[in-house]
Amino acid sequence: MTPATVVTPPTTPLNTNTVTEVGSRLGLTPRETPATVEIIDKQVIQEQGYRTTTEAAQGAVGVLAGDAPGAAGNFSMRGFSESQINTLYNGIKIGPSSMTNRIMDTGNLERIEILKGPASLLSGEGATGGAVNYVTKAPHTGAIINELFTSYDSFKGYRAYLGSGGSTDIKGLDYRFDVSRPFINSFIDDTYTKIWNLSGGLNYRVNDQFKIWGAAEYKEDKDRFYWGTPLVPANFPGIVPTSGIVSGLWTQYYPDGHTGTLNPVTVDARTLRTTYNVLDNHSGARELWLRGGFEYAATNSVTLKSQFYSYDAQRTWFNNEVDAFNDNPAPCCGPQGQVYRERFSVYHDQRLIGNVTDLIVKSNISGMDNRFVATFAASSLQFNAKQDDNFGSDNVQLVNPDRGLYPTFRTFSLRNCMT
């Protein structure tokens, strides 16, 4: 007799027992949460080969994501985008998504939680369209599990990851350590992203009721971004049109607005891999998280947990950010048939410290389970930005441009964005 085959239903965001922080502070699963919550866990990330958080979000239902050079790692849901969707890191908001999000590797993440719809009550002001929460891998109790993987792609990009976690020989002490190193190359010349991500944590179970923990994470990305290829009129002398990329009519809109008759628009086939950014362009960020806290189960029904955190970040954009083809023969607009370029740079220096404490009470009222949570949260944010006030500009050839350097003469303004 052939033994009966047990068919295990596929895992979905609704039939897991994963407790999500993005949808509720009550310790509920997505199935128990009266909202649309989707979880992309590490198993799905590995199976689908998602390299970055942007790629993972693109695999979610009803979510769009992109890595715009000036605002990488941003999302769109339900008609809202960028800072209308909050981004959280282990339940903590660090600032407007359009200013603080970075390209992130998925290797160090346990899961990505996505709440679709208004979420300001849980994640802070601004979450009109939803919220995305990144949950870092944490220590577990049990046998030590080691992980290692690497990959190489057709654009000569690569990824390497090493992780380890489990219980130590010290009773009650568990650990977790992860390090990932991706190099994401582009088909556009001289554009890429290099990422370092190191994270680690310790959990110490003093007894069955009381646990203390600490975690640290360092993230660094170095980028040479692609800021676009100029659109050109298809009938301009010498242009080699490329079909199937863009359509519509062309008009010169920068720097001096529309001139002349509208013409069919195209991308010159000789510029498909060309970058017009200056040779010394660079963008990037360094971020350091320090977190710690405790969890105390006073009784089977009452739990107190608290998280203290410190976050420091320095971000840089140092680029040529405008590329516009000029078909105007007038002297005001520069040489006809060349590309007008304009520079821009900005620096962020951010410091955030705070605490979140939850008191969770479970009870039974009239035969029905009830759960109540009271939350205390306090934080202090210092956000300074230094911006280049002397926008340099020049003109370069459409094909094989002399990319040049950022001007040496520059003036800055210092702004205190938030306190």
Considering Cα of 164, then 169, then 175, then 179, what sign does the dihedral take? negative
pLDDT at 20: 74
pLDDT in tens, 187-208: 999 999 999 999 999 999 999 9
Given its phi and psi angles, is residue 5 left (phi above 0), alpha (psi -120 to 50 degrees) or beta? beta
- Residue 293, exposed/middle/buried by CB under 10 A (0-12, 13-18, 19+)? middle
Top-confidence residue, 49 or 125: 49
- Under DSSP, is residue 331 helix (H, G, I), strand (E, B) or coil? helix
pLDDT in tens, 215-267: 999 999 999 999 999 999 998 999 999 988 888 888 887 777 666 678 899 99
pLDDT at 413 over 50: yes
Q: Which residue has the tokens 């027992």?
A: 17
CB 406 within 8 A of CB 318: yes
pLDDT in tens, 313-348: 999 999 998 889 988 877 777 788 899 998 889 999
Q: How far apart are CA 179 and CA 136, in angstroms?
A: 12
Long-range contacts of 43-49 (CB under 8 A, 24+ apart): 43/11, 45/106, 45/109, 45/112
pLDDT at 14: 53
pLDDT at 2 over 60: no
pLDDT at 1: 46
Q: Which residues contact 320 (CB under 8 A, 6 or more apart)?
A: 227, 276, 277, 278, 281, 341, 342, 343, 344, 406
Average pLDDT score over residue span 283-287: 96
Average pLDDT score over residue span 142-160: 94
- Under DSSP, is residue 6 helix (H, G, I), strand (E, B) or coil? coil
**What is the residue-averaged pLDDT of the chain?**
87
Token code pair at residue 188: 């556009």
Residues 238, 243, 245, 251, Cα dihedral to 10°: 50
Top-confidence residue, 74 or 127: 74
Q: Where do the domains of the chain lie, and which CATH numbers do they carry?
A: 30-136 (2.170.130.10), 145-228+275-418 (2.40.170.20)
Overall residue count recorded for the chain in this entry? 419
pLDDT at 367: 83
Q: Which residues contact 226 (CB under 8 A, 6 or more apart)?
A: 69, 186, 188, 191, 275, 277
pLDDT at 170 over 90: yes
Q: How far, CA to CA in Å, does 280 sit from each of 30, 64, 190, 407?
A: 47, 32, 11, 10
Of 69-78, 148-157, 303-312, 407-416, the range with the highest mean pLDDT is 303-312
pLDDT at 297: 93
pLDDT at 133 over 50: yes
Top-confidence residue, 135 or 410: 135
pLDDT at 70: 85
CB 198 within 8 A of CB 136: no
pLDDT in tens, 358-376: 999 988 888 888 888 899 9
pLDDT in tens, 81-124: 888 888 999 999 998 888 899 999 999 999 999 988 887 777 77
pLDDT at 16: 63
